[in-house]
Structure formats: C-alpha cells, structure tokens
C-alpha cells in the first residue's frame, strides 16, 4: 500500500494500543483470510482511505484489527456497517453506547470498540458483544455447577459453547501476544470441550 503520513500515524497508534509484536507467516495468512486491507475496502466502496484514517485517529471509527507484515491495515469487511446503521459516523458513538443501560459500561465498550481489538467476534455489534459477555460468564459458571459432568449438565454447557463458537473466529498467535495470554476461544471453547467431552 502507498505509505502516507496518516498511514504512519495510524501504524504508530496501532502499536501504542497493541504493542509491537511480530506477525508470522501463519498470522499473515489468517488475517488475509479473515479481514480486508483498508485501501481495498475503501476503493471498493468509493471511500477516501485517508479520510477514514482521520476518523480512526480521532476515535470515531475502530482502528485496524491488525497490521499485516507488509504494512497493510487490515479491517473487517463490514467496517462501515455500524456507522451506516447509526445514520452516519457523527451519530455512531451515541447510537452504540445507548445499547448499555449503564453509561459507564457503554463508554468502556465504545473505547474497546474503537481500539480495534474486538477481533474476538466475526461481526462486531453491540448485540454480539453483549451476547459474548453473557456466554463467557455462563460457560464459566456452568463448568462449576454440581452436575457439570453429567449428561444434562454437559448438554447445557455444550449448547453455550457451540453458540460462542459460532460468534468467535479462530484467532491467531499474534492475538495471544497482544492480549498477553490465552483468548476466550482457548479458555471457554477449546479448554471446556477438552475438559467436558460431549456425552
């Protein structure tokens, strides 16, 4: 991609948020399969990429989810969907935060959203964020129930795990570096399936 001053600023902001970790060939392949380069998305939709970078730097649209090794800013294909639903970028923050009854929670979720780190969902919407939070809490609680190992308990637990599995992508090694440990897929899907095999 052509390097611009805004591109450099965005890369710096990305590293401030995520740390400076190497992307392996496997990371690059995963990201290329799951995300799209910002330049490509903007070209396809007739948008100005530098204008979008300005919105990202201003905290009005999410930062890229990843920086590929070649410097491409990788974003979800539906990057602009929430802003379009809200009626425009200028209305997005109020629309987004209104999905939480507690203003402080809404503000915290907005900050997490614009950080670009919601790579834990196939599609980032307030409803999906809330559902993921509910499911991870419910899975953790269900694993500690007295009947967790029984057929009935396992049935309940695996229904929750399967729903979370449908919401979350696979993640990649880079994610475990930037988040400083295992992902929710590691702890709430893979580990739980290993600990409580299906009856």
SS3 95: helix
Closest-CA residue to 163 (of 120, 125, 131): 131
Give the model confidence (pLDDT) of 139-185 as tens digits.
999 988 988 888 888 999 999 999 999 999 999 999 999 999 999 99
What is this structure's pTM? 0.91
For 34-65, how does the pLDDT look when each residue is reduced to its tens digit (9 = 90+)?
999 999 999 999 999 999 999 999 999 999 99
Cβ of 57: how many Cβ atoms within 10 Å?
15
| Helix, strand, or coil (residue 45) | helix
Would you list the DSSP string of 110-170?
A: HHHHHTT--TTSSS--HHHHHHHHHHHHHHHHHHTSTTTTSHHHHHHHHHHHHHHHHH---
- The pLDDT score that the predictor gives to residue 91 is 98
């Amino acid at each position: 991609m052509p390097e611009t001053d805004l591109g450099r600023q965005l890369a710096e902001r990305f590293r401030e948020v995520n740390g400076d970790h190497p992307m392996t060939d496997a990371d690059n392949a995963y990201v290329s399969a799951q995300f799209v380069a910002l330049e490509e998305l903007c070209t396809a939709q007739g948008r100005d990429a530098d204008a979008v970078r300005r919105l990202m730097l201003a905290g009005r649209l999410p930062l890229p989810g990843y920086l590929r090794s070649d410097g491409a800013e990788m974003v979800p294909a539906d990057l602009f969907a929430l802003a379009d639903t809200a009626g425009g970028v200028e209305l997005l923050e109020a629309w987004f935060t209104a999905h939480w009854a507690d203003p402080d929670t809404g503000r915290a979720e907005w900050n997490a959203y614009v950080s670009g780190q919601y790579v834990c969902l196939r599609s980032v919407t307030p409803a999906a964020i809330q559902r993921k939070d509910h499911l991870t809490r419910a899975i953790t609680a269900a694993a500690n129930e007295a009947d967790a190992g029984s057929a009935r308990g396992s049935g309940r637990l695996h229904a929750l795990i399967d729903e979370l599995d449908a919401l979350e992508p696979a993640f990649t090694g880079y994610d475990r570096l930037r988040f400083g440990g295992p992902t929710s897929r590691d702890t709430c899907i893979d580990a739980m399936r290993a600990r409580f095999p299906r009856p």
